[in-house]
Amino acid sequence: MNSDTDPLKARLRRAERMRQVKAFGLIAPLLGFLLVTFVVPIASMMMRSVHDTELSAVWPQVSAAISTWHDRKALPDEATFAALAHDIKTSYKERTLSTAARRLNYDLRNGRSLVFSTARALPETADRWTDAVLTANPRWGDVETWGAVSRASGPFTGFFLLAALDRHRTAAGRIVPTPAEEAIFIDVLQRTFVISLAVTLLCLAMGYPVAYLLAALPPNRGNLLMILVLLPFWTSLLVRTAAWVVVLQENGIVNNTLIWLGIIEKPVRLIYNQIGVYVAMTHILLPFMILPLYSVMKAIPPSYVRAARSLGATPATAFLRVYVPQTLPGIGAGGILVFIMAIGYYITPALVGGAGDQMISYFIAYYTSSSVNWGLASALGAVLLSATLILYWLYNRLVGADAVKLG
């Protein structure tokens, strides 16, 4: 008997293995496509936040020599000064000095002018390069200047990630907060968090009653009213943002109506400030709160509330103690979903917010294209991406990955 079943078992196993290979073969094209075009580029962007070879590419000698600088309270040795002078002169001739100047400018105030003035003032030859460099620009006598060179010497650095959290390392290696007048990112992170949280709570406050009503209505009427939620959901983000600009602007419908009603005398500023950001973001994200709440509420059997009522609970008690706890998964799912989307928002705050209402995404875009500092853009991106992934992991724990539903 054994001789009959064993080959059968083996054949079944082989068939199952073939099935799995085929299944993987079907997934492979999309998986490969996304790995190459999506996952690898984002991973390499994240690498840029810790991998820093801008300076060492154009100043190789000093980047190597600085690694021998151990006593961080005194200036580096003559060999390091000589390496610096050599690198500056070489890169000045090869026109790559601006790369080094840009990299040092990230870290040092007036780093650019320091580099260029040194390059112009350096003599062709010198007996002692330490003296020559110090004569060219006395700032090279400050250990913090050398600290910046050391931090930029690569290949790996924590500089950008620390900068994204308004921290930096001194020449001696201590991590200290950036002076208040230069610190901006803690504020930006805080603002991103506060705006996202407020928008999430506004969405919950407005979405809960609507989801409740839709779930309680008989299906045909509920579905009809659901269209009122789905139409904005499907309307282009830019259409909705444009609509709010039109409605909220100085001579817009809201201001004109309020003046006509005599509530205000002259137009109030409703846009290009925080009000605009809150209103437009809540409007855009509200359907993402209503839909998960609705699907949870739809599945709650009415018998529990009926039981509570028949046992003497008032409608309010039955609602708060029996109904609301059953909707907690929906509140969690909708809340995390809205919060995840809110912290990554870029277009809406850029169009309806003021200069002081921009969130972290704006600065990632800014440091990528306007002020080219890709290391910092990547570090801010790393902060945003980690926050998003942690929240998404929470969301998954709460509702399960298969629960991703559309429409």
Partner 1 sequence: MAANTRNLRTPSERAWTAALWGVSCLVFFFLLAPILAIVPLSFSSGQFLTYPIPGFSLRWYADFFTSEKWIGGLVNSLIVGVSATVFATALGTLASLGLVRARFRGKGLIMGILMSPMIVPLVITAVGFYFFFAPLGMTASFTGLIVAHTALAAPFVVVTVTATLQGFDMNLARASASLGAGPATTFFKVILPLIAPGVASGALFAFATSFDEVVVVLFVAGPGQRTLPREMFSGIRENISPTITAVATILILFSVVLLLALELLRRRNARMRGLA
H-assigned helices in 261-301: 274-298
- For residue 168, with 0-12 CB atoms within 10 Å meaning exposed, 13-18 middle and 19 or more buried, which class applies? buried
Based on CB atoms, which residue is closest to partner 1, 183 or 230?
230
**3-class secondary structure per residue, 76-94:** CCHHHHHHHHHHHHHHHHC
Least distance in angstroms from the C-beta of 228 to partner 1: 5
Which neighbouring-strand residues pair with 144?
A: none
Return the structure tokens found at 318: 């039955």
Instruction: Provide the 3-class DSSP secondary structure of residue 176.
Output: strand
Binding status of residue 44 toward partner 1 by CB under 8 A? yes
The long-range contacts involving 245-248, CB below 8 angstroms and separated by at least 24 positions, are 245/271, 245/351, 245/352, 248/275, 248/276, 248/279, 248/352
Based on CB atoms, which residue is closest to partner 1, 19 or 128?
19
Binding status of residue 251 toward partner 1 by CB under 8 A? yes
CA-based angle 392:300:214, to the nearest 5? 85
Binding status of residue 50 toward partner 1 by CB under 8 A? no
Window 2 to 41, contacts with partner 1 (CB under 8 A):
19-20, 22-31, 33-35, 37-41
Least distance in angstroms from the C-beta of 316 to partner 1: 8
Window 270 to 289, contacts with partner 1 (CB under 8 A):
283, 286-287
Window 349 to 378, contacts with partner 1 (CB under 8 A):
350-351, 361, 364-365, 368-369, 374, 377-378
Based on CB atoms, which residue is closest to partner 1, 140 or 363?
363
Rg, C-alpha atoms of the chain: 30
- For residue 211, with 0-12 CB atoms within 10 Å meaning exposed, 13-18 middle and 19 or more buried, which class applies? buried
Based on CB atoms, which residue is closest to partner 1, 84 or 331?
331
Q: Is the dihedral of CA 67, 73, 77, 78 positive or negative?
A: positive
Based on CB atoms, which residue is closest to partner 1, 183 or 259?
259
Based on CB atoms, which residue is closest to partner 1, 14 or 306?
306
Window 376 to 395, contacts with partner 1 (CB under 8 A):
377-378, 381, 384-385, 388-389, 392
Window 53 to 82, contacts with partner 1 (CB under 8 A):
none
User: 142, 234, 324, 328: which one contacts partner 1 (CB under 8 A)?
Assistant: 234
Q: How far is CA 345 from CA 30, 278, 285, 387, in A?
A: 27, 12, 10, 13
Based on CB atoms, which residue is closest to partner 1, 162 or 300?
300
User: 160, 244, 294, 339: which one contacts partner 1 (CB under 8 A)?
Assistant: 244
CA distance 270 to 250: 7
Q: How many residues does the chain have?
A: 407
User: 347, 354, 394, 398: which one contacts partner 1 (CB under 8 A)?
Assistant: 347
Binding status of residue 228 toward partner 1 by CB under 8 A? yes
Window 202 to 221, contacts with partner 1 (CB under 8 A):
206-207, 209-210, 212-213, 216-218
Binding status of residue 258 toward partner 1 by CB under 8 A? no
DSSP 96: -
User: 1, 180, 311, 401: which one contacts partner 1 (CB under 8 A)?
Assistant: 401
Based on CB atoms, which residue is closest to partner 1, 170 or 235?
235
